[in-house]
Chains A and B, each alone.
Chain A
């Protein structure tokens, strides 16, 4: 449900040294005329002293809801509930995660906890990446891949320290993992704040922004546990029952390996576009108005995850086409 009184929450990820603290300091000190609360983790890079800064430890809790990979950030539920009792309204909340954190529990918190979902909404996952070190971090750490995979916006920071050729290389490497994140090249995280906060990236209607040219993903990764993306397009309308069976079963059985999924669907006999977006096993879906006149009614789906080759995704999607 869209609710204008929900406070948007931006999740900030990125490896140690990438520049998260630089960005947080900008958010807290720049004259932007807005009231932002910042939730920092106690193992952060350096202390930031401000009334609107809240200390948190990353407490990842398992939920007993039958969803085997469902973890949430318990401390976040507590802190967001507390912040919602403030007399003064916040314009946005920014959550910093530690360098080695998996972004999934933070994102899942907004799907699972009703109080959090009623009063706040996940706005975007912003990942600060170090242009110098990202390539080696992606080789050495699963967490770095996950942070890129989950991102809606990637600040490719410290570009001034890298040659043009290397920037193209690291940009391509990011694109292979995540075809739909917006990449902003920065020096000292100097991107305009309105390109970082208040994006509404998790709103279902933003799924409609998936551009067809993102959907040409190459496919030459080296290790089976690399995070990659796959996408499919169909001009033939899909059968709703078949799709629900396939997709429901897919998330149930492979949701641990599917980090994010998004799609726009054209169902046979339906006038409206259906959109969905998911984080691991959890997803949000809804009809999103009629198809624009004069435009192709094509279904488009994107998966980001590990081991996607072994999920028979193409075959599964093809089988959903209506007869």
Chain B
């Protein structure tokens, strides 16, 4: 290779790439979650790898086929796979099979304290502490997203035609339906639990104010929204799906109703594919279709910082360690960047 070009490419590396480690796993990174000082990543080859600064990742052969869903659970991760298995995995490689659904995929997982939840097909399965048998919640179509509110009293289940919010009272779950035509995917509660929001099959997100079921339609995206994250105290719901990170304000009584979003972290021709809040700050990491990642404050007058340069493969996950010291970025080709966020680390 031409020496000048090599030098140029080296100098084009970002500060975080220079001080971080790059791992090429060879399978798409599908999910990443933080457990204490480690970041667990699920891959398309069925492995779950635990990354920690200063050492090689520990590899756990968890699933046959793709790791479809993952969440943290106490000191473990819960994973759902293409092989129909719902697993609890510890960072030292212990695998506990919670349930095996055979040829049905385990599409979504969720947890709250000692409650473990997964979905397969139209059914949500809930394991509570000291009970071997799960409670089941049935839905009219395949479950596409699961989210607990911050108290673990309500569970939002997205599906075709809207969201079912299940409320736990005296150990019984009762359903309340939030309806909007179309197919609903990933779902989230706002941090104050006043709103639920879903990413739709169409290029839009949809929200409801829970107390009166008022609809919030957030449209205008050029592609499907694959990722969203709550940022700051306002808070903003920041979404992918556009050439910028699109930030919808959820303050006041009306939230984003009748208001325009703030757009930050412009990716030019590239579309944002993954967004992740920087905990405790009014700032967001935005990953793009070409693999690059920008850090931006939710302030249109401020310039974003380049965190990772282009790799040619779309960013599929970003996780930040719980002490805000490390960032992990993964893409669809299986390249992982693990780096310290701060220069003096």
Interface of A toward B, CB cutoff 8 Å: 49, 51, 53-55, 57, 59, 61-65, 72, 74-75, 77-79, 82-83, 85-88, 113-115
Task: Provide the B325-342 mask, 1 if CB < 8 A to any CB of A, else 0.
Answer: 000000010100000000
Bound complex: CA A55 to CA B82 (Å)? 10
Whether B107 pairs with A78 at a CB distance below 8 angstroms is yes
Is the C-beta of B30 less than 8 angstroms from some C-beta in chain A?
A: yes
Is the C-beta of B121 less than 8 angstroms from some C-beta in chain A?
A: yes
Write out the residue numbers on chain B whose beta carbons fall within 8 Å of the beta carbon of A77.
Answer: 201
Bound complex: CA A53 to CA B102 (Å)? 11
Bound complex: CA A177 to CA B160 (Å)? 34
Classify the secondary structure of A's interface with B.
mixed
* Chain B residues bordering chain A, tally (CB within 8 A): 33
Which A-chain residue is minimally distant from B144 (CB atoms)? Answer: A78
The 8 Å CB contact of A86, one of B66, B144, B201, B224, is: B66
List 10 tightest A-B contacts by C-beta distance, closest first: A87-B27, A87-B45, A85-B44, A55-B103, A87-B44, A85-B66, A85-B28, A61-B183, A64-B182, A86-B44
Bound complex: CA A251 to CA B26 (Å)? 45
- Assuming the A-B contacts A54-B105, A82-B68, are A61 and B30 also in contact, with contact meaning beta carbons closer than 8 angstroms in the complex? no
The 8 Å CB contact of B142, one of A49, A62, A78, is: A78
Give A236 Cβ to nearest chain B Cβ, in Å: 40
- Assuming the A-B contacts A63-B182, A82-B68, A85-B30, are A57 and B224 also in contact, with contact meaning beta carbons closer than 8 angstroms in the complex? no
Task: Provide the B80-107 mask, 1 if CB < 8 A to any CB of A, else 0.
Answer: 0011000000000000000000011101
Give B304 Cβ to nearest chain A Cβ, in Å: 26
Write out the residue numbers on chain A whose beta carbons fall within 8 Å of the beta carbon of B122.
Answer: 57
Write out the residue numbers on chain B whose beta carbons fall within 8 Å of the beta carbon of A113.
Answer: 201
Whether A54 pairs with B68 at a CB distance below 8 angstroms is no
Which A-chain residue is minimally distant from B82 (CB atoms)? Answer: A82
Bound complex: CA A85 to CA B332 (Å)? 8
- Assuming the A-B contacts A59-B142, A74-B142, A85-B44, are A53 and B103 also in contact, with contact meaning beta carbons closer than 8 angstroms in the complex? yes
Bound complex: CA A65 to CA B66 (Å)? 31
The 8 Å CB contact of B224, one of A53, A61, A114, is: A114
Most A CB within 10 A of own CB, among B103, B107, B144: B103
The 8 Å CB contact of B66, one of A53, A64, A74, A82, is: A82
Task: Provide the B46-80 mask, 1 if CB < 8 A to any CB of A, else 0.
Answer: 10000000000000000011101000000000000
Write out the residue numbers on chain A whose beta carbons fall within 8 Å of the beta carbon of B107.
Answer: 78, 82
Is the C-beta of B223 less than 8 angstroms from some C-beta in chain A?
A: yes
Bound complex: CA A57 to CA B68 (Å)? 18
Give B316 Cβ to nearest chain A Cβ, in Å: 8
The 8 Å CB contact of A54, one of B45, B103, B141, B160, is: B103
Write out the residue numbers on chain B whose beta carbons fall within 8 Å of the beta carbon of A64.
Answer: 181-182, 202
Bound complex: CA A78 to CA B65 (Å)? 15
Which B-chain residue is minimally distant from A40 (CB atoms)? Answer: B103
Write out the residue numbers on chain A whose beta carbons fall within 8 Å of the beta carbon of B182.
Answer: 61-64
Write out the residue numbers on chain B whose beta carbons fall within 8 Å of the beta carbon of A49.
Answer: 103
Query: Which positions 93-150 of chain B face chain A at CB distance < 8 Å?
Result: 103-105, 107, 121-122, 141-142, 144
Bound complex: CA A77 to CA B202 (Å)? 12
Write out the residue numbers on chain A whose beta carbons fall within 8 Å of the beta carbon of B105.
Answer: 54-55, 79, 82
Give B44 Cβ to nearest chain A Cβ, in Å: 4
Give A78 Cβ to nearest chain B Cβ, in Å: 7
Give B141 Cβ to nearest chain A Cβ, in Å: 6
Bound complex: CA A65 to CA B182 (Å)? 10
Which B-chain residue is minimally distant from A53 (CB atoms)? Answer: B103
Given contacts A57-B142, A82-B107, A87-B26, 11 further A-B contacts (CB under 8 A): A51-B64, A53-B103, A64-B202, A74-B141, A75-B142, A78-B142, A82-B66, A85-B30, A86-B45, A87-B27, A87-B28
Is the C-beta of B43 less than 8 angstroms from some C-beta in chain A?
A: yes
Give A216 Cβ to nearest chain B Cβ, in Å: 42
Which B-chain residue is minimally distant from A52 (CB atoms)? Answer: B65
The 8 Å CB contact of A57, one of B43, B82, B83, B121, is: B121
Bound complex: CA A88 to CA B46 (Å)? 11
Most A CB within 10 A of own CB, among B46, B141, B332: B141
21 sampled A-B residue pairs with Cβ under 8 A: A54-B82, A54-B103, A57-B121, A61-B182, A61-B201, A62-B182, A63-B182, A63-B202, A64-B202, A74-B183, A83-B66, A85-B28, A85-B68, A86-B27, A86-B44, A86-B45, A86-B82, A87-B46, A87-B334, A88-B45, A114-B223
Which A-chain residue is minimally distant from B47 (CB atoms)? Answer: A87
Write out the residue numbers on chain B whose beta carbons fall within 8 Å of the beta carbon of A88.
Answer: 45
Bound complex: CA A59 to CA B103 (Å)? 17
Whether A59 pairs with B160 at a CB distance below 8 angstroms is yes
Bound complex: CA A63 to CA B45 (Å)? 32
Write out the residue numbers on chain A whose beta carbons fall within 8 Å of the beta carbon of B28.
Answer: 85, 87
Bound complex: CA A57 to CA B43 (Å)? 25
Bound complex: CA A78 to CA B45 (Å)? 18
Task: Provide the B210-238 mask, 1 if CB < 8 A to any CB of A, else 0.
Answer: 00000000000001100000000000000
Which A-chain residue is minimally distant from B160 (CB atoms)? Answer: A61
Whether B121 pairs with A86 at a CB distance below 8 angstroms is no
Bound complex: CA A53 to CA B121 (Å)? 15
Bound complex: CA A61 to CA B159 (Å)? 11
Bound complex: CA A59 to CA B121 (Å)? 11
Give B123 Cβ to nearest chain A Cβ, in Å: 12
Which A-chain residue is minimally distant from B120 (CB atoms)? Answer: A55
Which A-chain residue is minimally distant from B181 (CB atoms)? Answer: A64
Which A-chain residue is minimally distant from B45 (CB atoms)? Answer: A87
The 8 Å CB contact of B65, one of A59, A63, A86, is: A86
Bound complex: CA A53 to CA B82 (Å)? 10
Bound complex: CA A51 to CA B64 (Å)? 9
Give A100 Cβ to nearest chain B Cβ, in Å: 19
Write out the residue numbers on chain A whose beta carbons fall within 8 Å of the beta carbon of B181.
Answer: 62, 64
Write out the residue numbers on chain A whose beta carbons fall within 8 Å of the beta carbon of B46.
Answer: 87
Write out the residue numbers on chain A whose beta carbons fall within 8 Å of the beta carbon of B65.
Answer: 51, 86
Bound complex: CA A66 to CA B223 (Å)? 17
Bound complex: CA A186 to CA B330 (Å)? 49
Most A CB within 10 A of own CB, among B45, B121, B183, B202: B183
Write out the residue numbers on chain B whose beta carbons fall within 8 Å of the beta carbon of A79.
Answer: 105
